[in-house]
Chain A
Amino acid sequence: MDNWIHPAIFYFLGALLLPFIKGLAKKIFILLIPIASIVVVAMSEYGSYGAYNFLGVQGLFGRVDKLSMVFAWVFVIMAFLGALYALHREEDGHHIAGFFYVGSSLGAVFAGDYLTLFVFWEIMAFSSVFLIWYRRKQKAVDAGFRYLLYHVFGGLLLFFGMMFYYAKVGSFAFNAISPSQAAWPEYLILAGFALNAAVIPLHTWLPDAYPEATVEGAVFLCAFTTKTAVYVLARGFSGFEILAILGTAMTVYGVCYAIIENDIRRVLAYHIISQVGYMVAGVGIGTAMAVNGACAHAFAHILYKALLFMGAGSVLYMTGRSKMTELGGLYKYMPLAMIGYVVGAISISGFPLFSGFVSKSMIVAAAHHEGRIWLMLFMNLAGIGTFLSVGLKVTYFTFFGKPPANPVSAKEPPANMLWAMGLTSLLCFIIGTFPQTLYVLLPFPVEFRPYTLSHLSEMMQILAFTGLIFYLLVGKLSPEDKINLDMDYFYRQGTWLFMKFDEKIIAPLDVLWGELYRILGVRGLFGSADLSYKFDQKAIDGVVDNTAYSVVGFGSIVKKLQTGKVQVYIGLSLFMFFAILWFVL
């Protein structure tokens, strides 16, 4: 294929056409857009497409290579599953926001330069926030604004970084940066990317906003923003040691919060930080195996995390509740949704035959292979926390635990949601059982074999004994109706303090200044107006009037000389001539 079609085009066109289509045709249309993009991605050939020149700057819309293609593949698959899950939603705006969000993510993944990347990066932020606002609750609106402000800040970091980078190297080309060459322009770009990857301490936007999103919106949100960030980190910053360390810290940080949170979707949101931590660490370790692992894990993670959000979303959609303290015993009412959730949970926990087993282990093995034993140990510790929180705690307290005092009688979610969960579950199983289906897409040749006896033994020990720990500590791990402070405390409390400062100090000062102005300023103004009036009357008017009087007086003298007699004029002229002559000589 000589002329490559950018898969994002379908989403942008689809978003524009959607309001004009009604009824069943609309539903079909919503599914056809991602299908068309899947076909286009399947037909894509490697190469550079859509180079352009904008004000003397070289840009590139379509860099199609192995690294961009692995993300494009999972994005279009996820777009289809997300669209199917959201099919029952009536508002066009929600679907349009989803289309713009997916389209701009694809735009960012195929961008060959920072300028193109930046434009799509910003469209992502501004379209995805609507998936939060469509929840139409005050908490969602507030969280959406915080999300947007945070991403605008991240966008500015990226913008300043790329401008200084341009000043440094004279090009916007987006390619791998060597850690030894990196100075502060590159680190500004890195910070902008890291914010979208929810790298601590720039992570708080994620667990703040995602749990407030719509049921269907959260399924989209959990897939695209952080994984686009993983892609750009893998493209530009592989081998940066700081990413290896922060990524590993993220894996543990995320699960610590996942263990203590009460809202299922907040557990899952914190757990995204943990999972993206593996990918960031893989990029930071930077070997072929580690970067492969980061890409494989991004692929697998998008699917099983979406599946978990679909399961949690089904519970919220059917019961109106998402806190574990208000749930329990749902296996009787929604067993199919429960199976979907459990497949996601065992995939994320790394059970053999499911996708996490073949993706996460590649990063852990890469750390092991490089002799980074501490990184490996912390990643496996996070693996314990994963199964403990997402796998066991949520499953037990939502679907099996004691029903709450005011129990709910839910039923299975709509068929489209169940189908989406079924298909996603199937993909998790296929990837886990036939890992080559995923490995062929990875950017580097894969030598890693997940199904070895030692790896099986390692994972089974971790999973089974985590089960034992849960069994022994189940009473201690029960959910509590509380929220937990995170680093957003500083800016949320900081804003509150600023408002107090404004109320107690700035506002009274403003009143005082107004009063002072009223007393001194207004009086002064009247005084100076009076003075200028007098000056005008006495000085200006005086000068003007006296000049006029002088002219009149002079005129009356001149008038007397104009007798009309020629001999007088000649006499006067001679007199003046001799007077001048005398004066000059």
Chain B
Amino acid sequence: MNLVEVLEKLRRETGLLKKLFYLVLILLILFDLFLPRGHAHFLVDKVPAFWTFFTVIGGFLLARFSKGMAHTILGKKEDFYG
């Protein structure tokens, strides 16, 4: 089975992949909860699963802000500069 066939097979199994992905997310949070925090000086080190919160909020804001800018003042037609 070549690479293309593997990829096509995986694309048919989206349900399974989705479940696996969610499982990984949960495991990552659990992993961080039990991580020893010996050298925690700053808030980012003290709060368990800080980077999960940070990524979800930051990623959402970053994507929406950038697309928002593109849809309002930045986006122009291809031939804008002639």
Which residues of chain A have a CB within 8 Å of any CB of chain B? 252, 255-257, 259-260, 331-332, 335, 339, 368, 371, 373, 376-377, 380-381, 384-385, 388, 400, 453-454, 457-458, 460-462, 464-469, 471, 473, 476-477, 480-486, 492
The distance from the CB of B62 to the nearest CB of chain A, in whole angstroms, is 5
> Which residues on the B side are within 8 Å of A486 (C-beta)?
74
> Which residues on the A side are within 8 Å of B59 (C-beta)?
384-385, 388, 465-466, 469
Find the A residue at minimum CB distance from B60: A469
Mark interface residues in B50-66 (1 if CB within 8 Å of A CB, else 0): 01101110111011111
- Evaluate contact between B74 and A485: CB separation under 8 angstroms: yes
Interface residues on B, range: 35 or more
Q: A260 with B67: in contact, given A454-B35, A469-B60, A482-B78 (CB under 8 Å)?
A: yes
Closest 6 CB pairs of A and B: A469-B59, A465-B55, A461-B51, A260-B70, A259-B66, A484-B74
Pairs A–B under 8 Å by Cβ, sample size 11:
A255-B62, A256-B66, A380-B51, A400-B11, A464-B24, A465-B56, A468-B25, A469-B55, A469-B63, A482-B78, A484-B69
B40-57 CB contacts (< 8 Å) to partner A: 41-45, 49, 51-52, 54-56
New A-B pairs, 7, CB < 8 Å, besides A331-B4, A469-B60: A335-B2, A377-B44, A384-B58, A460-B28, A468-B56, A477-B63, A483-B81
Q: A384 with B62: in contact, given A468-B25, A492-B81 (CB under 8 Å)?
A: yes
A332→B42 CA distance, assembly (Å):
48
Find the A residue at minimum CB distance from B37: A454
A482→B69 CA distance, assembly (Å):
13
Most chain B beta-carbon neighbours within 10 Å: one of A335, A473, A480, A484: A484
Q: Does B12 reach chain A (CB closer than 8 Å)?
A: no
Find the B residue at minimum CB distance from A384: B59
> Which residues on the B side are within 8 Å of A257 (C-beta)?
66
Question: Out of A335, A388, A465, A467, which one reaches B52, CB within 8 Å?
Answer: A465
The distance from the CB of B54 to the nearest CB of chain A, in whole angstroms, is 7
Q: Does B16 reach chain A (CB closer than 8 Å)?
A: no
The distance from the CB of B56 to the nearest CB of chain A, in whole angstroms, is 5
Question: Out of A453, A466, A473, A492, which one reaches B55, CB within 8 Å?
Answer: A466
- Evaluate contact between B31 and A256: CB separation under 8 angstroms: no
A380→B58 CA distance, assembly (Å):
9
> Which residues on the B side are within 8 Å of A371 (C-beta)?
41-42
- Evaluate contact between B28 and A335: CB separation under 8 angstroms: no
Q: A457 with B35: in contact, given A259-B62, A468-B56 (CB under 8 Å)?
A: yes
Q: A457 with B31: in contact, given A468-B25, A483-B78 (CB under 8 Å)?
A: yes
- Evaluate contact between B49 and A473: CB separation under 8 angstroms: no
Find the A residue at minimum CB distance from B29: A461
> Which residues on the A side are within 8 Å of B54 (C-beta)?
377, 380-381, 462
Find the A residue at minimum CB distance from B8: A332
- Evaluate contact between B24 and A484: CB separation under 8 angstroms: no
A206→B77 CA distance, assembly (Å):
20
The distance from the CB of B26 to the nearest CB of chain A, in whole angstroms, is 10
The distance from the CB of B25 to the nearest CB of chain A, in whole angstroms, is 6
Q: A373 with B63: in contact, given A462-B51, A482-B75 (CB under 8 Å)?
A: no
Find the A residue at minimum CB distance from B44: A373
Q: Does B7 reach chain A (CB closer than 8 Å)?
A: yes
> Which residues on the B side are within 8 Å of A482 (C-beta)?
70, 75-78
A388→B58 CA distance, assembly (Å):
12
> Which residues on the A side are within 8 Å of B62 (C-beta)?
252, 255-256, 259, 381, 384-385, 388
> Which residues on the A side are within 8 Å of B81 (C-beta)?
483, 492
- Evaluate contact between B28 and A461: CB separation under 8 angstroms: yes
- Evaluate contact between B78 and A485: CB separation under 8 angstroms: no
> Which residues on the A side are within 8 Å of B73 (C-beta)?
485
- Evaluate contact between B63 and A388: CB separation under 8 angstroms: yes
> Which residues on the A side are within 8 Å of B58 (C-beta)?
380-381, 384
- Evaluate contact between B76 and A484: CB separation under 8 angstroms: yes
A259→B55 CA distance, assembly (Å):
16
